[in-house]
Structure 1
Amino acid sequence: MASVRISFEFPAVVNEKAARTVAGGVALVSALALVTGWLWLAALLAVGFALRVAFGPRRSVIGWIAADVVAPRLGTPKRVPGPPKRFAQAVGLALTLTATVFLAAGLPVVTTALLAVLLIFASLEAVVGFCAGCYVFGLLMRVGLVPEETCAACNDISLRRRETAAA
């Protein structure tokens, strides 16, 4: 019988192409929710974010499709540090959980606003490669709120080059 191993580790290095594809999927689901009025999709987005934060990018449907189906077709992986991407996923989780709570409380206008914010930031990452969560993570490191050892590759580009060569 095969053993099942569940890992709570987020990868130290992720494929930027897969991350941008995940953002594209999040943007599409957010847009679908806003256009159709199916605001309950915020709860599904929250589950996906929770799975990616807890278990890594391949543990959600959008993450699996991005990492195993779409990204390999986009060419050579572009390796980037994982901790900022995990932080960005946690921000997405906070947004979608808050949106879901407000929807359950009978305040769909707040849910709509939060999904619109998510759509904007997910689109920025998917289309132009700007990860707002990663940017904030970097700022938090610079002011000392995130310890440097959390992401050594974030501060030292040569470490990223070595990890890319090893991958």
Structure 2
Amino acid sequence: MADSNTETANTWSLLWFRSRDDMTPFINDTAVRIRAGIMLAIPIFMAFTLWDIVFGSRWIVTGEVIKDTFELDFDNRILYMVEAVRRTYDYTVQTWLLFYALFEMLAGMSVRTAYLSPTIWLSTLLARRARPVWKPLAPKRFAWTIGASMISVCLVFFHPEKFAAAVNFIFQSQVLPTTEQYLPRWLPLVMVWVCLGFMWMETVLGFCLGCEVHALLVKLGIFQDECEACNNLDFGQPR
């Protein structure tokens, strides 16, 4: 019983980290995969939202009467007269979800801030009975940086006027327009699906593409050799 209580105490004091004495932090990849599965709900929701924005109807029919104009368009389709309004979107829920996802990406990058993440606590709880698989934090940090960048682009897409106003204020010039959407409509949709694919591979296959890119950059000498595992595309054997 005492050993069990000690193990539980160590789990909560270290969370998914191997040791506080590691010069290069190592985290439990089992918990990381569980966390990716939890966070997967956000890009799924955002993918459906952006699909509706890009490919959904831009008009809402408000009237109950649809009148035939007895005219045809160039494709010989019948033209009707209706009462309709331009569709508008409220991105409040999406914005808060994206800010939370951004917080999660940033919180996981540091040993100190990791304790602020609810999903890290939850994933640690769910992984406590599974055999830990230790992998370096540095490649994961690089992968989460990519994720944070994608989230930031989506936030700009939802609030282009606010971002443009901030940029124009910093440069004291009209760098970006404040009255129109300057990002391509397809860009955030593609990025969300890419993010969804990355997280699915992490959760289901245990394959971290961002980590592999990080390891490749270490091989090329673009990043410094932080640890032996960071310089190994296969990350070696679980420790």
| Alignment correspondent of 2:152 | 97
Q: Tell me the matched-pair count.
A: 152
User: Partners in 2 of 1:155 and 1:11 — Cα distance?
Assistant: 13
Q: Which moved more, 1:41-50 or 1:123-132?
A: 41-50
Give the TM-score normalised by the residue count of structure 1.
Answer: 0.76
- Quick check: 2:29–2:132 contact (8 Å CA) kept in 1? yes
- Where does 1:49-60 land on structure 2 (aligned, <5 Å)? 49-54=105-110, 55=112, 57-60=114-117
Shift of 1:147: 0.9
Correspondence 1:139 to 2:216: yes
User: Partners in 1 of 2:119 and 2:209 — Cα distance?
Assistant: 19
- Quick check: 1:10–1:56 contact (8 Å CA) kept in 2? no
Correspondence 1:22 to 2:28: no
Shift of 1:51: 1.5
Unaligned runs of 5+ in 2: 1-21, 51-92, 161-180
User: Partners in 2 of 1:95 and 1:131 — Cα distance?
Assistant: 16
Question: 196, 201, 214: which is aligned to 1:119?
Answer: 196
| Alignment correspondent of 1:76 | 131
| Alignment correspondent of 2:25 | 12
| Alignment correspondent of 1:85 | 140
**Which has more helix, going by share of residues?**
1
Shift of 1:10: 10
Question: 50, 65, 71: which is aligned to 2:122?
Answer: 65
User: Partners in 1 of 2:23 and 2:101 — Cα distance?
Assistant: 18
Which of the pair has the greater relative contact order for Cα pairs under 8 Å at 6+ separation? 1
Go from structure 1 to structure 2 and tell me whether the alpha carbon gap of 1:11 and 1:56 turns closer, same or farther (over 3 Å shift).
Answer: farther
Q: 1:130 is paired with a residue of what secondary structure?
A: coil
Q: 1:55-86 CA deviation, whole Å, 9 max, x = no partner?
A: 4544322222112x21114x111111111111
- Quick check: 1:81–1:160 contact (8 Å CA) kept in 2? no
Unaligned runs of 5+ in 1: 1-8
User: Partners in 2 of 1:77 and 1:63 — Cα distance?
Assistant: 14
Q: 2:135 is paired with a residue of what secondary structure?
A: strand
Shift of 1:98: 1.6
Residue 153 of structure 1 aligns to which amino acid in structure 2? A
* Identical positions, percent: 26
Give the TM-score normalised by the residue count of structure 2.
Answer: 0.55
Q: Which runs of 4+ in 1 moved over 6 A?
A: none
**Which has more strand, going by share of residues?**
2
